[in-house]
């Protein structure tokens, strides 16, 4: 074998080794990516947020996710009936508050949950309690919501009728408390969001210790949990 043929053979071998290494690297990166995929159902007992001493698991937070996704999805289907994810991926430029719709949806759901817990604790501290009719109303609301969930949605979120009832009871007590706050502070003519008004004018929100699990926000994509499950 002359030198030229030998050099050509060496070049071919080196090329094949490089191709083999590239293929191996590609498969390795794909394996790493699949290994690190966030599987929602495997994190239902993880903490999303803690308000004071009250932790909220992803299972419980599923109530707020389902509620927010339902509201935004209705607008998304009007925006583009054939591809609602287009609306979920819309980017809003608002300076430091810029972000995508799916990010806004997460933030609003989280704020809703946090407000519920803060005002629920405040209501309990001030001696508020649900009436018998309030408990019945909570049961009705929970049953209505549960029947609206598909089997896939229930399995994905881990929501149960008992959990939904607990959250509805909490929200009804918060509603009772905020209504009283409005009456006592003559806010009946306030045209904006009452909860925002109370939060902005009351130290209870600022005094509350809130710890959010940022990993949840980074790994959960709103618009794909209880809706658009096969879309990204």
CB 181 within 8 A of CB 198: yes
The whole-number pLDDT of residue 191 equals 43
Cβ within 8 Å of residue 120, ≥6 positions away: 170, 173, 174, 177
Where do we find the tokens 């004071």?
A: 52
CB atoms within 10 A of CB 26: 10
CB 35 within 8 A of CB 131: no
User: What's the pTM?
Assistant: 0.77
The whole-number pLDDT of residue 231 equals 61
The whole-number pLDDT of residue 96 equals 72
Helix (H) / strand (E) containing 54: strand 54-57
Helix (H) / strand (E) containing 212: strand 210-212
User: Which among 209, 193, 189, 211 has a CA at the least distance from the CA of 201?
Assistant: 193
Q: What is the pLDDT of residues 85-137, one digit of tens each?
A: 999 999 988 777 789 999 999 999 999 999 999 999 999 999 999 999 999 99
- Token pair for residue 163? 């959990």
Question: Strands 210-212 and 47-51: what pairing?
Answer: antiparallel
The whole-number pLDDT of residue 178 equals 86
The whole-number pLDDT of residue 201 equals 46
What mean pLDDT value characterizes the chain?
83
CB 196 within 8 A of CB 178: no
pLDDT in single tens digits along all 232 residues of the chain: 556 666 666 666 666 677 776 666 555 455 444 445 889 999 999 999 999 999 999 999 999 999 999 999 999 999 999 999 999 999 988 777 789 999 999 999 999 999 999 999 999 999 999 999 999 999 999 999 999 999 999 999 999 999 999 999 999 999 999 888 776 665 545 444 545 544 544 455 556 788 999 999 899 999 999 999 766 5
User: Which among 138, 141, 142, 122 has a CA at the least distance from the CA of 130?
Assistant: 138
CB 103 within 8 A of CB 68: no
CB 228 within 8 A of CB 84: yes
User: Which among 43, 70, 71 has a CA at the least distance from the CA of 58?
Assistant: 43
In the DSSP assignment, the letter for residue 210 is E
């Amino acid at each position: 074998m002359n030198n030229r043929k030998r050099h050509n053979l060496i070049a071919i071998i080196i090329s094949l080794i490089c191709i083999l290494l590239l293929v191996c690297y590609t498969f390795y990166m794909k394996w790493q990516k699949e290994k690190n995929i966030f599987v929602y159902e495997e994190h239902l007992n993880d903490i999303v947020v803690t308000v004071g001493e009250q932790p909220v698991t992803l299972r419980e937070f599923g109530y707020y996710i389902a509620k927010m996704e339902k509201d935004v999805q209705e607008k998304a289907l009007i925006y583009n009936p054939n591809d609602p994810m287009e609306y979920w991926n819309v980017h809003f430029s608002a300076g430091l508050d810029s972000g995508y719709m799916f990010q806004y949806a997460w933030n609003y759901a989280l704020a809703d949950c946090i407000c519920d817990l803060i005002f629920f604790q405040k209501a309990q501290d001030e001696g508020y309690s649900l009436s018998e009719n309030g408990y019945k109303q909570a049961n009705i609301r929970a049953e209505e919501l549960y029947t609206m969930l598909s089997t896939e949605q229930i399995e994905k979120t881990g929501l149960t009728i008992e959990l939904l009832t607990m959250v509805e009871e909490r929200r009804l007590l918060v509603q009772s408390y905020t209504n009283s706050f409005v009456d006592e502070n003559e806010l009946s003519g306030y045209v904006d969001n009452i909860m925002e008004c109370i939060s902005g004018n009351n130290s209870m929100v600022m005094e509350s210790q809130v710890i959010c699990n940022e990993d949840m926000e980074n790994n959960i994509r709103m618009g794909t949990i209880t809706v658009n499950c096969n879309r990204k």
